[in-house]
Amino acid sequence: MLLALIFIFQLVYFYSDFFSEEITIDEKELKMFQAEIDSLKQLKLENSKTEIYPFNPNFITDYKGYTLGMSNAEIDRLHKFRSKNQWINSKAEFQGVTKISDSLLARISPYFKFPDWITNPKPKKNFNYTKTNTPKTFEQKIDLNVAMASQLRKVKGIGEKLSQRIVDYRNKLGGRFIADVQLQEVYGLRPEVIELLLKEFTVKTPASITKIDINSATLEELVLIPHIDYEIAHNIIEMRTLREGFKSLDELLKVKDIPINKIDIIELYLTLE
C-alpha cells in the first residue's frame, strides 16, 4: 500500500500543472520603477563628483591638475612656465600656456580666482618717478644692496611702508640680497611693482653663500634652506634615491609638496655636482 501511494503521488507531481497561473506585468508601473532607479543612479553619480572650489591657476599641483582633468603634459607646461617666475593673469593665457582643450577650459575657468589687483585694478595714481623709454643697463642701475628707502620710494607703487620693508628684509638676510628674485619674499610687494623696481635697481654685490649639493645633501642640511621643512626634505631624498640622483635642478618641480612658487628661492641655495 505504501508503494502504491508513493507511485500515485509521483504521477500527480509529474502530470499536474502547479504554475498554470499566468503572471501579468504592469508595463506602466515597471517604467515608473525603472525611472526611479535611473534618477537614483544619476543622483549618486552627481554626489560622487569632486567639488571644485575657487583657486588661483598659478598654483595648480600635480594632484590638483589631475582632479581637474588635465593631462601630465598640460600640467608640466604650466610648471615649466611658472618656474621662470612668470604669472598667468587670464583664462586665455592659461590655455595658451597649458594647451588645454576648449571644453576643459569652459568647465574649470569659472573657478579661476586671480588676485584683486588683476580682477579689480585700482585707478592709476600719479607718482614722482622718472620714466625713460630706454631700459637701463646693468651698470646704470643702482645696487639693491646699498639702496636707501628714500631711493626705493621713487619707484611707482612703493611708498614709505614698502620701502622700509625691503630694507628690513635685506637686513634680515645679513645686509645683502643674494639675487633679485628674493624681492618676492617681501610682504606686500606685488609682481608688477617688482618688475618696475628692477628697471632701476639690481643686485650688484650679492651675498656670498655656500651652496649645497642636491645629490649629497643630508636631511639636516636641506631643512636649513628657506621653504623646505622636514617633510619636503624627506621627499627630496626619496625622489633622489628613486632617480639615482638628480640630473637637473628642474626635477625638483616633481618633488611632492614642494612650493612651486618658491622654487627660484630654493634653487639659490642648491648646486648640482
| Residue 164 is assigned to a structural domain of this protein | yes
On the question of pLDDT at 44 being above 70, the answer is no
pLDDT of residue 122: 64
DSSP symbols for 157-183: T--HHHHHHHHHHHHHTTS--SSGGGG
Helix (H, G, I), strand (E, B) or coil at 271: strand
Residue 273 pLDDT grade (very low, low, confident, very high; cuts 50, 70, 90): confident
Residues 217 and 198 in one domain: no
Tally: H helices and E strands in the chain? 13, 4
On the question of pLDDT at 126 being above 60, the answer is no
Residue 77 in contact with residue 98, Cβ under 8 Å? yes
Residues 237 and 261 in one domain: yes
| Residue 13 is assigned to a structural domain of this protein | no
Q: Which amino acid is at 6?
A: I
| Residue 133 is assigned to a structural domain of this protein | no
Number of Cβ within 10 Å of residue 254's Cβ equals 14
Please state, for a pLDDT cut of 70, what percent of the chain lies above it.
Answer: 85
Residues 153 and 182 in one domain: yes
Residues 72 and 109 in one domain: yes
**Domain assignment of residue 147, given as a range:** 142-202
Residues 219 and 237 in one domain: yes
pLDDT of residue 69: 86
Residues 63 and 113 in one domain: yes
| Residue 249 is assigned to a structural domain of this protein | yes
Residues in the chain: 273
Secondary structure letter of residue 181 according to DSSP: G
Distance CA 65, CA 71 (A): 8
Residues 66 and 111 in one domain: yes
If one counts the domains in the chain, the total is 3
Average pLDDT (121-134) is 60
Residue 182 pLDDT grade (very low, low, confident, very high; cuts 50, 70, 90): very high
| Residue 135 is assigned to a structural domain of this protein | no
| Residue 222 is assigned to a structural domain of this protein | yes
pLDDT of residue 50: 59
Residue with cell 571644485: 52
| Residue 258 is assigned to a structural domain of this protein | yes
Q: Which sign does the torsion angle of CA 255, 260, 263, 265 carry?
A: negative
Q: Which residue has the higher pLDDT, 38 or 236?
A: 236
Q: Which three cell numbers stand for residue 145?
A: 644692496
Residues 225 and 254 in one domain: yes
| Residue 232 is assigned to a structural domain of this protein | yes
Report the CATH number that the domain containing residue 266 is assigned in CATH. 1.10.150.320
Contacts of 65 (CB under 8 A, 6+ apart): 74, 75, 78
Instruction: Indicate the residue among 119, 151, 169 that finishes a domain.
Output: 119
Q: Describe the crossing of helices 72-82 and 91-98 by its angle, rounded to 10 degrees.
A: 110
pLDDT of residue 30: 76
Residues 198 and 216 in one domain: no
Residues 115 and 147 in one domain: no
On the question of pLDDT at 47 being above 90, the answer is no
Where residue 15 falls (left for φ over 0; alpha for ψ -120 to 50; beta otherwise) is alpha
On the question of pLDDT at 26 being above 80, the answer is no
CA distances from 194 to 60, 186, 203 (A): 23, 10, 13
pLDDT of residue 161: 94
